[in-house]
Structure 1
Amino acid sequence: MTQARIGVLFFKRLWKLFGILFGNFTSRSALIFYSLTILSLLMQFVIYAAGLIPSKYFEVLGSKDYPGFQQLAIYSILVIVLNAVMKSSLNYVSRVLYLTWRKMLCSRLHDQYFSRINYYKLNVVNDNLDNIDQRITRDVDQFTKEWSLLMSRLVVIPFTIGYYSYQCFASTTWLGPVTIYVYFVVGTIINRLIMAPIVRLNVEQEVCEGDFRFQHLKVRVNSESIAFYQAGKTEHVKSEKRLNLLLKTLMSLYNWSFWLNSSVNIFDYVGGILSYLVIAVPIFGGDYDHLAPEEISSLISRNSFVCIYLIHSFSQLIDMSSTIGDIAAHTHRLGQLLEGFDVNTDERKEEFSDDGHKNESYSNVHQMLFDEPNTSKSRAALEKKVLDSIDGSSEAEFDNGSHTYFHLSNVTFSAPKQARNLVEHLTLTLKAGKNVLITGATGSGKTSLLRVLAGIWPSHSGSVKKFCDFGPKGVMYLPQKPMLTDGTLQDQIIYPRLDPYPEYSSDNDRDRMIGIVEEVGLTTLLENNGGFEGNFELNWADKLSPGEAQRLMFARLFYHYPDLAVMDEPTSALSKFTEKKMFELCIERKITYVTVAHSPNLKEHHDVELHLSGQGQWSVTAIQSTRF
């Protein structure tokens, strides 16, 4: 909150955002901005022509010039029509610029948000920023919309101030421009003092809006659990608390906005009569005594327009004070988000040594394996070469006939920002055909180990060698909380793909999915949703029971058909019979699996138990095979 003000940091962040919005000199947004600038400048000539029309009417009506009146009537109608068309065109181009800017900024944020698992780091690991979703949606929308509206005024204000200052000087000598300039400076200072707390309150308002919206999102997602707990009153109190905090912030914002708006309106209305006060000096001084009454009337009208428009140009800058307050809030929030991406990028660079080689904490040699000309022989040779280079590992330690998926050597890790190590000096090899069960007390680091395997948590020391990639013939993770996306039943099964695998024909892929759904016992779900492509659902989590959700995750696993499945409590909501069947299906498909579980019943489905005892201790034990 201390940074939510207009200062050096604001302009630094604004410059960075403008770099994204404008791209290069030939980008689409730049070309639209050029068109907006040209239209805005042409609009000023039309406004100037329209502004002088009243003075011309004073002159022709005062002198009873009927032919001149007819010509002026036609001319004024044409100018008015042109003025209306130009205003509509300017408004249209501003909206197109807004859409273009929103697309560019959102797309850039999406690129960075969904790369290098920033969506996980910013929301879970480095939780320094609030409401990331609101920043990408609402803040981007408001920021681009406000700037697209401001640009048409900002680009012409220097031109109009310079031109109308000259015209004002020609009519009133130095007195007119100096009076207006002093008037503007005083107004700017007063509004700047009032605006300082408004910027801070705008940022606080955005935070409170996000928290209030998130509270209701939490109720919607967990409505059934809240109903079982009979916790409606508790959630009601929490919702009211967030609402009251939001309204209190808005009330403070409106209180300060009252004084800012009062100041802006006073300067606007005083500006309306300032032109007459300025022109009164030369008139009462006798400078225009030689002119006829109709000429004096025309002069007053013309001078009033020039002075009023000069004041209007300055007033536009003053009027922008309240808008700048909103823009500053959005600028700071978006700037903080970009800086959060930069921090994660810097952390990513730290994974590499000074000579550009990747450090040994985590590496993926999958691409190296599959780049070799003779896949099977060269893969085994490269695996042996990599493994033998780690801590002097010998060939006897590893089964040459079995493909290795992961090798962990002396790995020590803890939860982010936590000093206590969860596991210390872990050495483990995960290879084909050896199903590993990870057990331990709550908080001993079981799920954390899966995060280290996935590369979303770093290890403090040691090395994690990965010999597989995500997907078919690779590795697939099933997190503890089933990930249910929006869409059809087919979208659930093929997730995280957007389309079915191209190597299967449409009919074969459909038959394969039907067989998988029948195997996991979800035929009723298929029938009730009108097939794989029927009933587009936004919230499958509310539609499915926990057991159905876990069986659907196994259907997804079997569809992707990986070599290795890494699963976290995958059968906690299943019966023992269904649990046994799911592991049997994995064995039938020759899918090796690593399972985190509390239940001792799962031992019969595994070959090795890795037990994490807490305080960094661990042990590996062979399980006597009794399965099936």
Structure 2
Amino acid sequence: MSASLDWAHEWLTSLIWTGKAFAITVIVFTVVVALLARYTHWGRQFRRIGFPYFRPGRSWVSWRPLLTLALMLWLTALAVRLSLLFTFVNNDFITALQKLDSTAFWYAIAIAGVLMAVVVVISLLGTLINETFVIQWQVWLTDHMVADWLKGSAHHRGRFVTAPVDNPDQRIQEDIASFVTQTHWLAMGAVDAALSLVSFTALLWGLSGPLSVVGREIPHAMVFLVYLYVVVASVLAFRTGRPLIRLNFLGEGLGASFRYALVRLRDNSEDIAFYRGEDAERMTLAARFAAVIQNRWAIVFRSLKLQGVNDTATQVATVFPFVIQAPRLFAGAITLGDITQTGQAFDSVQESLSFFRNSYEAFAAYRATLDRLTGLLEANKQSRALPSLTAADHPDALEIEDLTVRRPDGRPLIGGLSLSLNPGQALLIKGASGSGKTTLLRSLANLWPHAQGSVWRPTDGHTLFLTQRPYLPLGTLRTALAYPQRAHRMDDEQVPQVLHSVHLGHLADRLDDETDWSRILSPGEQQRLGFARILLSRPRLAFLDEATSALDEGLEHALYTLTHDELPECMLVSVGHRSTLNTLHTHHLQLLGAGRWSMAESPQPTAASRRPAPAGSGQALAQTKK
């Protein structure tokens, strides 16, 4: 009995075959990706998210993604060739068993052993390369998406766009991982399916014989029947599974909404406990979770229908080739090895054609992931396109010219505000609740899109905004004190002194403790830490929004005095209600509502304001606008 292939020279034949298959695969893969990216909606979404990673630059490192992708395509072609060779080995030893040829049998087993060893090595190498590719792409894309989200304060201004996105944190943390994993699985699976389809169709063409249907003979009927069979099954699967795209997208949003409610409960647990609001919170959580479960059941029932179509098609396919080839075996036209190889080839063709049908549920989830990631990118883009103030650097003054601030509905909060503040001077902004005090600070920071005018102030890290409850980042206390600068830039000897000066000396020994300081420190301690941040960063301009609301009047006076003494040239802009703040500021801005405001110098200027102003400085304003 002769072997089905010349195994002594098959290694060279297979290398040549793999090289040709790889070259054709690269060309076809490039053309298909380009066409999908141009003519399909989801392809254009993928181009926006994924293409930048593969764009090569001048350094060789920038070519690594493309080179890794090419290596994965080559390994896929090699794996298909090995699968094809296994069918010939299987044919040989099944036929050897049928003919009781022990020599041919053990020779086939030896060839199978060599192939299995090669498959193991290729499998391990492929797993390492594939996982490396996925991890590196996820790292790059996460950094890219985070940078885009932070650019131009899109993480904050995004709430003002026409359709704000929900849960950007989940989109960055979960959806990026899903996108990378699903893209790799679908792309490599499609390539493997296409290569297997072409390779095993050629094999099946040679193995299949004619079939008489209603008196007419169809040559190579097995090939036509398997294609017709899978096309019909795929059409049914696509029609059945299409609603899963919308259901998966909805499920991501509902799950994120429920998780956000849980996080809010955790973050506000003390307030909820004071209110005895556990029952109300439980009802809220139950309502949101009910929506999650309702959508989950919809996915289950739709998935059952899709699984029923796929399982039926798969089960029928297991016996189909044997039913067709059995008459030829009984007639002696083919061997038992041939019919076994026919079954393997049929299964491979059927599985390759069925890849897209069986992957429809995964593709539906992938489409939802694309929608969520592109939605975040689009919201970031829209937030950066929102109106903003004309801002420029002025290292030694704060100058505001014709600033108008409006509510989102267009009603004026502040109209035509113009003022100038020089080094050492301090401005107190007062007014009734809702008059626009905090909104004015947001506008000066370019965070409020409903404002127009011009602002000149120190930039490049020389301006510090201090909110009512200072933001404390994750990490050590030293990191919180230095924020937004790096902790290693601080003077280790100065930090304990500053902590003692703001009455936080008991924390001097805990600078390198890493914990959630926003939960450890009281509101008053957090506000004192904010003043320590000012003393350490030494800004030229500091905005303080109710920065002493949790402190008693004596401590408030001590901290402002300390700031004036330590930073005599620093300009302060404060928002507050207490009358005790009046004597701590050189100028007062009273917001009167409906766009009206008044501006005046303090009748009792601080010691800092009595220092002579630098030569060429502007005059302080004393005016009222009605």
Give the alignment's TM-score, normalised by structure 1: 0.84
Inter-CA distance 409–429: structure 2 relative to 1 (3 Å threshold): same
Counterpart of 2:405, as a letter, is F
Q: How does 1:314-329 map to 2 (within 5 A)?
A: 314-329=353-368
Q: Which residue of 2 aligns with 1:514?
A: 496
Secondary structure at 2:486 match in 1: coil
Q: Which residue of 2 aligns with 1:85?
A: 121
1:402-413 alignment, distance < 5 Å: 403-404=396-397, 406-413=398-405
Structure 1 residues 316 and 40, CA gap change in structure 2 (3 angstroms): same
Amino acid in structure 2 at the alignment position of 1:16: R
Q: Contact 1:40 / 1:153 at 8 angstroms: preserved in 2?
A: no
- Please state if 1:602 is matched with 2:581: yes
Between the aligned partners of 1:86 and 1:264, the Cα distance in structure 2 is: 30
Residue 470 (structure 1) shift: 4.5
Distance in 2 of aligned mates of 1:469 and 1:478: 16
Gaps of 5+ in 2: 1-38, 209-218, 608-626
Which of 213, 218, 226 matches 1:180?
226
C-alpha deviation, 1:243, in angstroms:
1.4
Gaps of 5+ in 1: 1-6, 352-360, 370-402
Matched, 1:298 2:337: yes
In the alignment, residue 180 of structure 2 is paired with which amino acid? T
TM-aligned CA deviation for residue 559 of structure 1:
0.5
Matches within 5 A, 1:104-115: 104-115=140-151
Report the alpha carbon displacement of residue 95 of structure 1 after superposing the two structures with TM: 1.5
With 266-275 and 576-585 compared, the bigger mean Cα shift is at 266-275
Q: Relative to structure 1, is the Cα distance of residues 237 and 545 closer, same or farther in structure 2, using a 3 angstrom cutoff?
A: same
Name the structure 1 match of 2:459: 469
Distance 2:156 2:451 in 1: 19
Structure 1 Cα separation of the partners of residues 161 and 382 of structure 2: 12
Deviations along 1:187-219, one digit per CA (max 9) or x if unpaired, are 221111122211101011110111111111112
Q: What residue is the counterpart of 1:14 in the other structure?
A: 46
1:445 maps to 436
Aligned with 1:565: secondary structure?
strand
Partner of 2:359, secondary structure, is: helix
Distance 1:332 1:88, change over 3 A: same
Return the letter of the residue paired with 1:177.
V
CA deviations 1:22-44 (Å, max 9, x no partner) are: 33396322222111111111001
Q: Is the 8 A contact 2:468 2:527 kept in 1?
A: no
CA deviation after TM superposition for structure 1 residue 138, in Å: 0.4
Cα drift, residue 142 of structure 1: 1.0
From 482, 489, 505, the equivalent of 2:477 is 489
Residue 161 (structure 1) aligned with residue 197 (structure 2):
yes
Q: What per-residue deviation string (whole Å, max 9, x for no partner) do you get for residues 361-394 of structure 1?
A: 412134xx7xxxxxxxxxxxxxxxxxxxxxxxxx
1:624 aligns with 2:603: yes
* Conserved 8 A contact 2:468-2:549: no
Determine if the alignment matches structure 1 residue 536 to structure 2 residue 514. Answer: yes
Q: State the alpha-carbon separation in 1 of the partners of residues 42 and 327 from structure 2.
A: 43
| Residue 31, structure 1, aligned to residue 67, structure 2 | yes
1:148 to 176, 179, 184: 184
Question: Is 2:238–2:360's contact at 8 Å kept on the other side of the alignment?
Answer: yes
C-alpha RMSD over aligned residues: 2.1
Residues 1:51 and 1:579: Cα distance change in structure 2 (over 3 Å): same
Quick check: 1:485–1:491 contact (8 Å CA) kept in 2?
yes
Taking the TM superposition and a 5 Å limit, the aligned residue runs for 1:348-497 are 361-366=389-394, 403-404=396-397, 406-415=398-407, 417-458=408-449, 460-461=451-452, 463-471=453-461, 474-497=462-485
Question: Quick one: which amino acid aligns to residue 303 of structure 1?
Answer: T
- Structure 1 contact 423–617 (Cα < 8 Å) conserved: yes
What is the distance in 2 between the residues matched to 1:126 and 1:583? 41
Q: Once the 2 structures are TM-superposed, how far is the Cα of residue 268 of structure 1 from its aligned partner?
A: 1.7
Distance in 1 separating the partners of 2:89 and 2:488: 68
Q: Deviations over 1:484-527 (max 9, x none)?
A: 111111111101112333xx7xxxx1111111000000111234
- CA–CA distance in 2 between the matches of 1:601 and 1:127? 43
After superposition, give the CA deviation of every residue in 1:504-558 in whole Å (9 maximum; x if it has no partner): 7xxxx1111111000000111234x3xx11x211x21211110001001111111
The partner residue of 2:572 within 577, 593, 602 is: 593
Go from structure 1 to structure 2 and tell me whether the alpha carbon gap of 1:614 and 1:278 turns closer, same or farther (over 3 Å shift): farther
Q: Hey, what's the Cα distance between the residues in 2 that align with 1:80 and 1:616?
A: 81
Q: Give the C-alpha shift of residue 420 in structure 1.
A: 1.1
- Aligned partners of 1:489 and 1:526 also within 8 Å: no
The answer to whether the 8 A contact 1:271-1:312 is kept is no
Contact 1:204–1:249 at 8 Å: present in 2 too?
yes
Say if 2:155 is the partner of 1:119: yes
Q: Corresponding residue for 1:41?
A: 77
1:523 matched to 2:555? The reply is no
Name the aligned partner's letter for residue 167 of structure 2: N
Shift of 1:233: 1.9
Corresponding residue SS for 2:151 = coil
Letter of the structure 1 residue corresponding to residue 293 of structure 2: L
